[in-house]
Amino acid sequence: MSYTFTVNKTSLTQEELEAIAAITSVSQTIVIVYNEIPSGIINGINRIFSLAFSPNPSTSLMLFMNGLLQIEGLTKNYLLTGSEILFNEDNIPLVDSNLIATYQKIP
- At 24-71, the pLDDT tens digits run 556 678 899 999 999 999 999 999 999 999 999 999 999 999 999 999
Cα 78 to Cα 46: distance, rounded to the nearest angstrom = 13
Query: What pLDDT does 44 receive?
Result: 98
Helix, strand or coil for residue 9? coil
Query: What pLDDT does 99 receive?
Result: 98
Cα 68 to Cα 65: distance, rounded to the nearest angstrom = 5
Q: 54-67 burial by CB neighbour count: b if 16+ within 10 A, else e?
A: bbeeeeebebebee
